[in-house]
Chain A
Amino acid sequence: MPIITYRQALNNTLGEELARDENVLLMGEEIGLFQGSYRITEGLLETFGPRRVVDTPIAEEGFVGLAIGAAMLGLRPVVEIMTINFVLVAIDQVVNHASKIHYMFGGQVRVPLVIRTPSGGTGQLGATHSQSFENWFAYCPGLKVVAPATPYDAKGLLRAAIRDDDPVIFIESLALYDTKGEVPDNDDYVVPIGLAEVKRPGTDVTVISYSRMTAVALQVAQRLEQEGISVEVVDLRSLRPLDRPTIIRSVKKTNRAVVIAEDWYSYGMTAEIAATIQEEAFDDLDAPVQRVAGLEVPLPYAKDLSAISKPSANSLIHAIRTVLEGKR
């Protein structure tokens, strides 16, 4: 199977979907002439022209709203928001409009819209360019939120998202764009929205994660295997709907759970997962659930301060050792 980067997987999928369906179009800032801030849309303007690959002015509320309205009349816009921090400027359109239009109007109109955006932060991007807000959208009924961790899932979930008739928030990560993985050629597979996957089976502890933190969890699992610790990694892939049965099945098997996400600790993604586990697998737990998340500060710029504000492989290992204490 060919090995390609996460970026190539996204780029190929966008190109294939543009070719497949005339109603699919891409919109966003700097996605055409500039080739995309992170080169996800590279080459697509040349191939498909300015009707299908639309450079927008800096007006997130305006063009996100425009994309929703266009979707209501049958187009299938795929909007790129340069980073998730900028979605806040358009949050009224996403939360008060995209998520509600199908339900609130009694199912009369669909909003087949995808908003692609990288979340989280690396590389000293500072307080306003490093945030994780996927939980804001996962909180909101009516949206679907996916966050693939591998090139294979990036491709399969992006296909699913573009072909889905509901608004889908597609969470990417700057740190994943250059990661590589196997992706089949000439295979029209989709990864279904709403299903988690056990990315690595194990017996001692379950680590639940998504997006970049799944990549971290897989590295940690490999490292700890050499110490004889068997880590099962559950990759959520979808944050809404959340695949609670897969989480619970895994925790009932390993009896110990660590949840890791890049966002802030309080009210963040890890809280929801931990709450789910105590509700549905309390009697199966041999230790309290451990949560690993970002430090609760506006992300500082200084290199070392910045680095320790986000969870690392070491913070995950620390949490795994804590949850395993007393077992071995």
Chain B
Amino acid sequence: MTKAAEAARAAVEREDGGTLRRYYHQMLLLRRFEERVSEMYVKAKIGGYCHLNLGEEASIVGLMDALTPDDYIFTNYREHGYILARGVEPGPIMAELFGKETGVSGGRGGSMHLFDAKAHFMGGYAIVGGQVPLAVGAAYALKYQGKPGVVVAQMGDATTNIGAFYESLNLAKLWKLPILFFIVNNGYGMGTSVEHGSSEPNLYKKGGSFRIHGERIDGTNVLAVRDAVRRLRQKAEEEGEPAILDMTSFRFRGHSVIDADRYRDADAVRRGRETFDPVRKFAAILRDTGIVEDAFLKETAELVDRMVQDAIDFANNSPEPKFEDMYTHMYATPVPNTPDAQDAIRAVKINRGE
């Protein structure tokens, strides 16, 4: 057994069994949810772009368990797992992917724009880097209002090459804001590898010019992720000390559901999946340490399958948003000379040739 594997096993043995079983349940839920999403996409139940969290389950569950209800999360467009692990019901999440009125964003957002105000899940954003300054602003508001909590700015590895990221690092450190820059480093930004796009491929070092502490963490180890987030979260909240968390993981498939992934070596991808599958690794370690038995794994799989099937049924049975609500969320403060429900209905009739 390698040193890392030994350490991982020791960490598991120190942990409470109930917690470990809960993590496994959540990770498997994320896995099955995404596998079924992929299936629903192929069946054309889901449109647009659709990016999956397959292979990232440990970093997501570890992150979410270390956060408190006071904390806020801003993510990129690969975010189904984050909102699930934050505790939002699978049904409304699936319904959003289906474009239904009952979806978490009322069918206005879609896969890349999930949101839940109550859960402090402040949205998936689809312009690379766009969410990072927003998250810094949320941290600014927490500090301004003297409220507890920190903000997580989740992003992919390639986001560390865009200007908004660096302006955000500067502002966060300059103004001592409670924020964690959470980089999901799966080695690829679409088809461009980290080495191909970053002159500094050690992404955790990219805060150096801003005096921001950074760490590389095994993003396939749920306990390592959780412990690192807890520790850095506390520093961020208590000392206003931002940090970069460079979470390594392996992207199981192409960039999005429709990406055939031809730019990666097929054998390497197969090996990567076997080596870095956080769910399978976690199941093996739980079984080897005697914390769970096969019966638990089987029951959990059945339970999760049922949950995801229920979410699909909920989404299927939900109504589409109404045409007359086309303009409903246009403005928070109503003003004159804006289109209304009548305008929407007129547009529908003309557009459909009625």
Contacts and interface: CB of A to CB of B under 8 A. Distances in A.
A binds B: yes
Interface of A: 25, 51, 56-57, 59, 61-75, 92-93, 96-97, 101-112, 141-142, 144, 164-166, 192-195, 238, 241-245
Given A69-B137, A73-B72, 16 more contacts: A62-B171, A63-B167, A65-B136, A66-B168, A68-B133, A70-B140, A97-B125, A103-B108, A104-B108, A106-B329, A108-B116, A193-B335, A195-B336, A241-B335, A241-B337, A241-B338
B105 A104 contact: yes
A69 B134 CA distance: 4
Contacts of A51: 144
29 contacts: A65-B164, A65-B168, A68-B133, A69-B134, A69-B135, A69-B137, A69-B138, A70-B144, A72-B122, A72-B134, A73-B138, A73-B142, A73-B145, A75-B141, A75-B145, A93-B130, A102-B332, A103-B329, A103-B330, A104-B113, A106-B103, A106-B105, A106-B108, A107-B329, A109-B117, A112-B332, A164-B335, A166-B332, A192-B336
Contact of A67 (B137, B145, B163, B330): B137
B337 A194 contact: yes
A199 to B, nearest CB: 18
B115 to A, nearest CB: 4
Given A59-B171, A166-B332, A241-B336, A105 B164 contact: no
B331 interface: yes
Given A73-B72, A193-B335, A243-B337, A66 B113 contact: no
B332 A66 contact: no
Nearest to A27: B140
B335 A72 contact: no
Nearest to A63: B171
9 tightest A-B CB contacts, nearest first = A69-B137, A65-B133, A62-B167, A106-B106, A73-B141, A69-B134, A107-B329, A105-B115, A165-B332
Nearest to B147: A73
Contact of B336 (A141, A142, A164, A194): A194
B170 interface: yes
B138 A144 contact: no
Nearest to B139: A69
B174 interface: yes
Contact of B140 (A66, A112, A243, A244): A66
B97 to A, nearest CB: 14
Contact of B335 (A59, A71, A109, A144): A144
Interface residues of B, number: 48
Contact of B109 (A75, A96, A104, A238): A104
Contact of A96 (B116, B123, B130, B142): B130
Contacts of A67: 137
A73 B179 CA distance: 14
Contacts of B338: 194, 241
In this complex, which of A106, A144, A242 has the most chain B Cβ atoms within 10 angstroms of its Cβ?
A: A106
Given A65-B130, A108-B117, A71 B137 contact: yes
B52 to A, nearest CB: 21
Contact of B137 (A57, A70, A144, A194): A70
Contact of B170 (A57, A93, A107, A238): A57
B127 interface: yes
A111 B116 CA distance: 16
A321 B163 CA distance: 51
Contact of B105 (A25, A70, A105): A105
B5 to A, nearest CB: 40
A62 B170 contact: yes
A293 B279 CA distance: 63
A66 B144 contact: no
Contacts of B108: 103-106
B198 to A, nearest CB: 20
Nearest to A71: B137
A317 to B, nearest CB: 30
B333 interface: yes
A97 B332 CA distance: 15
A243 B333 CA distance: 17
B58 to A, nearest CB: 28
B328 interface: yes
A70 B171 contact: no
Contacts of B329: 102-103, 106-107
Contacts of B107: 106
Nearest to A241: B337
A25 B144 contact: yes
Given A73-B72, A75-B144, A109 B122 contact: yes
A194 B109 CA distance: 27
Nearest to A90: B133
Given A59-B170, A65-B132, A105 B109 contact: yes
